Structure 1
Amino acid sequence: MAVQLWLESLRAAKKTCILQDGIRKVHYLFADGKEMVEEYDHKTQELLVRKWRQKSALGAHAEWQIEVGETPAPVVAVLQNDFLKENSSNQQSTSWVCFVQPVFMRKDTKTAFQWRIRNLPYPKDVYSVSVDKTERCCIVRTTNKKYYKKFCIPDLDRCHLELNESALSFAHGNNTLIITYQKPKEILSVEEELQKELKSLKANSEGDVECKTQ
């Protein structure tokens, strides 16, 4: 069963961990060379970050790909002309309106996968969120055709679990669309077993150490 295979691969991975500023960071090195890093709140065990990378065909490390958490913003943000539009509502003067791009990120809870899309100012009845079982993804649409987004749930893909429309819901407030997908029992079980595994690891508060696992 794919769920059990994924759990076994987590258990078999070589792990190193550190505890720093209340954050428990765990690095996984899998047998196929892929790397995964997870960051947890040490008190609540809430997952804050999950990212992946793997080596190229020439052996060089690729960039980290963020799965959970927010992609770091560039140090210097350059305002492009494409995001500026002349405001001609006032004929006596010319002003400029800056349009901010929507920001998509995943931030889970203990019982649900959750995504936040900031900078979406439209009212809630403009949005629809649905499941496409053929493409194994979720789709966000707006009736005014101002926004469209497709995204998958890697956790379900890794465990070969079907998408369930009834598990999906959304809310809107403060210009942010919040999409929630209730975790199936198989995922909750894997996460529970993984937490037991991680609790047995001894983390160094000063640097990386190899965490001995059974």
Structure 2
Amino acid sequence: MSKQQSKWVEMLKAARKTALVQDGKRKIHFTLADGTELCEEYDVKTNDLLVRKWRRKSTLGASKPWEVEIGEPDVTAHMAALTLGSQHLMESNTNPICVRLDTRRAFQWRIRNLPYPLKTYEITVDSDEKNIVVRTTNKKYFKKINIPDMERRELKLDSEDMNIAHANNTLIIQYQKPKCILDDQVLLLAEFKKLKTGKDGDMECNQS
């Protein structure tokens, strides 16, 4: 019996796609019906999703900068920011940085440059706003984290599915993926493996 397809799966299957295998990664560029671009990168061996980023159109039809949903921030964005001067460079090395790095079965965020012990953090689920709220008892840090995957599926968050840890000045937050999200991953991976892979240079996921 085949699994029921979600709107997310249907949208990606209907998109125009190009694929490339390079440096141990399967890179896929999607162009959606409204002109929005999506790029994803998967580890060829583990099939883990390493990168997901979007480039949307402005009201005038121009392409906006890439927005990273999963993975490390774009190097080009960092380089552009560093042109602001050495002061910004110093701040960027010490300020907390939140990066989403998922595992196959969990959404995961790593917030670096947070030296406080684990007991300092108060992490809750805001059911109304559908996000995870991170705050410290010493009032040194506050952040709201949304999960676009859950929003696309219109799923509610449950604090029972969340785990936290702290090591090497990094706060690690994990939220277990619901079964329907895992099912989507299986369906999409099977679809992507059918794609004909192109040569280096065929992809349109250049950072700009």
TM-score range, shorter chain: 0.7 to 0.9
Give TM-score scaled by structure 1 length.
0.85
Aligned: 1:144 with 2:146: no
Unmatched tracts of structure 1, length 5 or more: 85-97, 210-214
Maintained 8 Å contact 1:40/1:48: yes
**Cross-structure match for 1:199:** 193
SS at structure 1 position matched to 2:9: helix
Between the aligned residues of both structures, percent identity stands at 51
> What is the correspondence of 1:125-144 to structure 2 with a 5 Å cutoff?
125-144=119-138
CA distance in 2, matches of 1:15, 1:7: 13
Q: Alpha-carbon deviations, 1:104-142, whole Å to 9, x = none?
A: 100000000000000000001001211001011100011
Aligned: 1:41 with 2:43: yes
Maintained 8 Å contact 1:3/1:186: no
Q: Tell me which moved more, 57-66 or 197-206.
A: 197-206
Maintained 8 Å contact 2:110/2:171: yes
Distance change (3 Å), C-alpha of 1:179 and 1:196: same
SS at structure 1 position matched to 2:184: helix
**Cross-structure match for 1:109:** 103
Larger radius of gyration: 1
CA distance in 2, matches of 1:4, 1:109: 21
> What is the correspondence of 1:35-74 to structure 2 with a 5 Å cutoff?
35-73=37-75, 74=78
**Cross-structure match for 2:29:** 27
**Cross-structure match for 2:159:** 165
Q: Higher helix proportion, which one?
A: 2
Give the number of aligned pairs: 195
- Cα-Cα RMSD: 2.2
SS at structure 2 position matched to 1:19: strand
Q: Alpha-carbon deviations, 1:70-113, whole Å to 9, x = none?
A: 113523463328x78xxxxxxxxxxxxx9810111000000000
Unmatched tracts of structure 2, length 5 or more: 204-208
1:3 CA drift (Å): 6.6
Structure 1 stretches (4+) deviating beyond 6 angstroms? none
Maintained 8 Å contact 1:130/1:168: no
Maintained 8 Å contact 1:51/1:66: yes
Q: Tell me which moved more, 177-186 or 198-207.
A: 198-207
